[in-house]
Amino acid sequence: MAQGSQTLRISIFRLFLLLMALSSPSEGGWRWGILGLGKIADDFATALTRTSVASAGGRLLACACRDEARSRAFGTRFGLEQSRCYGSYDTLAQDPDVDIVYIASTHFLHRDHVLLCLQAGKHVVCEKAIALNARQAEDMYACAKREGKLLLEANWTRFLPAIRRVRDLIRTGELGEVRLVTADFGKVMNRQDARRWLWEAEHGGGALLHMGMYPVTLALLASQDQHEPAVQAIGQLSEGETGVDQNVAVGLRWPGGVASLGYSWVADTPEECVIVCSKGRVRIHPPAHCSDTLTIKRFGATDGTRHAEGSEEVEHFPLPAVLAREDGEKLFHFGNSEGLAYEVEAVHKALSDGLTE
Amino acid sequence: MAQGSQTLRISIFRLFLLLMALSSPSEGGWRWGILGLGKIADDFATALTRTSVASAGGRLLACACRDEARSRAFGTRFGLEQSRCYGSYDTLAQDPDVDIVYIASTHFLHRDHVLLCLQAGKHVVCEKAIALNARQAEDMYACAKREGKLLLEANWTRFLPAIRRVRDLIRTGELGEVRLVTADFGKVMNRQDARRWLWEAEHGGGALLHMGMYPVTLALLASQDQHEPAVQAIGQLSEGETGVDQNVAVGLRWPGGVASLGYSWVADTPEECVIVCSKGRVRIHPPAHCSDTLTIKRFGATDGTRHAEGSEEVEHFPLPAVLAREDGEKLFHFGNSEGLAYEVEAVHKALSDGLTE
């Protein structure tokens, strides 16, 4: 799947022509269903329907949650036919007109929902964390392979233009070898106000799957995903029966490099990432997990003990424009969610290219 | 020793009066000798002799290294009598007019040099790392206690006004509880050009004692030095017979908080530190180990899932002025070494107050 987005050089127009030539999706492009209708589903639907980047290759057709009234209200917000607003996940999975299902239910339901949709012949994009453990993930990917369908973890960070630029800087060797990565992600979560399962280990609770996966994603990306790094973690668990991780320092090591990461839901951290390489370093500005700005510093020559001053450049990667937004209208629950459009675009591209892994 | 610098509220004038009233030092204040005459000794001597902050309480009287010609050249640079420029460490230790010896030899000689000077009745300030292991440090502090002399590790970071301000912010509870600390320190060291013992484990080589101690110092300071934190480290060793640590991610945990640290001599890192607390966070600007600038962000009220925007203030702490500096004259080998003057000032204060620990 990573390959699909790396070569996203095709113009929207050519993509459109390609899509027209394919028989699988309807004329309007790939037809999406959304399963689970919380805040992130709302942001995803907005990115899909109200940005040109995402909507060029597809459209939203159906939605489902366990409460049919809520499903209908969601459908109304996004202009869906009421007959496509389901009160059951199974009905959505069985809708013959849906090509792809975006799964936005909670972590501990992902396995069942992913298998349900894959077995019904749908491509699947599943919110992170896609699984509670490696075993679940392996089951899900084996199923996708059997069914010949795309299965993608919705780790949107990887599809953002700023992050793709970072990956290019590293892959081309322009900044030399990656030596040391620092990254943090922390937001205070109030136990009284947040959903209970977040504090339940057996339900995939804890800050790692919720927040820690972002700095870990950036570190893995810096290591070019080539290695399975050695891992160490140290930190505090929440109080309670099944204490879950809530304030953690993580160290990763791969051949030639290390990452020093911090994640937390008891601390509001700056959300930065710095990737230090042998010839320069790149700072991913806050919020690093959905950044639109980089500072790239290229080192000068070294005098043996330290590098001379080099050049420093700031690069901006504006998020996609939102169509028909009214002045002051707040469309998204989470910051920079416009960037979800790049994830959708990558999925359209991958499907058009016939990629399923 | 930390207590001595925490209460450094006394004015230079009152300090001077105090010193005059004490019989121990001569009229010119505490008389310093320097043992080991490398670059850091040079910077220390400059800070001691050419800033008003440091020189108000003392003066440089003698120096020693194993090469008498080098010792005399050093003495000439700092206006010492040639008869006080010794070619032997022992002669310096036996000079009856020296009150304090600053030890700037290499790590693996510290133990012997510290004991030599303490047993000769001198107060001692020893460059970091003061010892190669806890056993050596315990021996040295036991000796200082027996002799009733001050023994201080020259960890200058702790005495800088910006860092004292950070400590005050934490100690007073103004920013709430410390939750997560991030800090890095990395400079590329070229093996060909640097001294061989730095790559020899038995001689105290490796990046931890040379560089890693700075982010660790900042993390310990953030934890208010109250706890012995649990430690984890992961990273790369140098190639060679006694591979030493050269690129490392460190995690620390104390009750209620964690630190995610990185240090390296194969990566030029930004040298920043962020201390995230429950009510705000403070960024120690680069170079964090000798910073003169802080950004303090105070969080607004929390809505349950995240803090509202709060205020952000930048505070500057100018380094001490250097006396009689000529335009463009480069006095120091290392950046911000003017700040060593605060360490000297703290020593004078501690001695005048009769503190020896």
A-chain CB neighbours of B251 within 8 Å are: 232-235, 249-251, 260
B-chain CB neighbours of A250 within 8 Å are: 249, 251, 260
* Domain boundaries for CATH 3.30.360.10 within chain A: 161-316
Nearest to B260 among A192, A253, A261 (CB): A261
Bond prior to B229 in cis (omega within 30° of 0): no
Q: Please, what CATH class does the domain formed by A161-316 belong to?
A: alpha beta
Residue A296: closest C-alpha in chain B: B270
A-chain CB neighbours of B304 within 8 Å are: 190, 192-194
Mean pLDDT, rounded, for A340-351:
94
Flag if B267 and A179 touch (Cβ within 8 Å).
yes
Confidence of residue A248 (pLDDT cuts 50, 70, 90): very high
- The SS3 of residue A35 is strand
- The SS3 of residue B317 is coil
Distance from CA of B178 to the nearest CA of A (A): 9
Nearest to B258 among A180, A247, A278 (CB): A247
Residue B191: closest C-alpha in chain A: A304
pLDDT of residue B10: 39
- Under 8 Å CB pairs connecting chains A and B tally to 184
Q: Is any Cβ of chain B less than 8 angstroms from the Cβ of A288?
A: no
Q: Is the pLDDT of residue A219 over 80?
A: yes
Question: What is the DSSP code (8-state) at residue B129?
Answer: S
Q: Is the pLDDT of residue A13 over 50?
A: no
Chain B segment 207-266 residues within 8 A of A by beta carbon are 230-236, 247-253, 256-262, 264, 266
Residue A187: closest C-alpha in chain B: B306
Q: Which helix (H) or strand (E) holds B316?
A: strand B311-316
Q: Tokens 């995610």 identify what position?
A: B260
Q: Is the pLDDT of residue A3 over 50?
A: no
- The SS3 of residue A141 is helix
Q: How far apart are CA B113 and CA B126, in angstroms?
A: 9
- DSSP notation for B262-300: EEESSS-----EEEEESSEEEEEPSSGGG--EEEEEE--
Flag if B269 and A180 touch (Cβ within 8 Å).
yes
Q: Is the pLDDT of residue A9 over 60?
A: no
pLDDT of residue A240: 77
Q: Is the pLDDT of residue A173 over 90?
A: yes
pLDDT of residue A356: 66
* Domain boundaries for CATH 3.40.50.720 within chain A: 28-156+329-353
pLDDT of residue A6: 34
pLDDT of residue A228: 87
Q: Which residues of chain B have pLDDT under 50?
A: 1-24, 26
Q: Which pTM value belongs to this model?
A: 0.88
Between 3.40.50.720, 3.40.50.150, 3.40.140.10, 1.25.40.850, what CATH number should domain B28-156+329-353 receive? Answer: 3.40.50.720
Confidence of residue A255 (pLDDT cuts 50, 70, 90): very high
Q: For B85, left (φ over 0), alpha (ψ -120 to 50), or beta?
A: beta
Q: Is the pLDDT of residue A26 over 80?
A: no
pLDDT of residue A305: 53
A-chain CB neighbours of B236 within 8 Å are: 253, 256-258
B-chain CB neighbours of A182 within 8 Å are: 182, 184, 260, 262, 269
Contact (Cβ atoms closer than 8 angstroms) between residue B259 and residue B181: yes
Tokens standing for residue A301: 């020559």
pLDDT of residue B13: 40
Distance from CA of A338 to the nearest CA of B (A): 20
Q: How high is the ipTM of this complex?
A: 0.87
Nearest 5°: phi and psi at B172? -75, -10
Q: Is any Cβ of chain B less than 8 angstroms from the Cβ of A353?
A: no
Q: Tokens 């008389």 identify what position?
A: B31
Q: Which residues pair with B254 in a beta bridge?
A: B257
Nearest 5°: phi and psi at B128? -80, 155
pLDDT of residue A304: 52
Q: Which residues pair with A311 in a beta bridge?
A: A298
> Higher confidence at residue B20 or residue A46?
A46
pLDDT of residue B76: 96
Flag if B190 and A302 touch (Cβ within 8 Å).
yes
Sign of CA dihedral A306, A308, A311, A312: positive
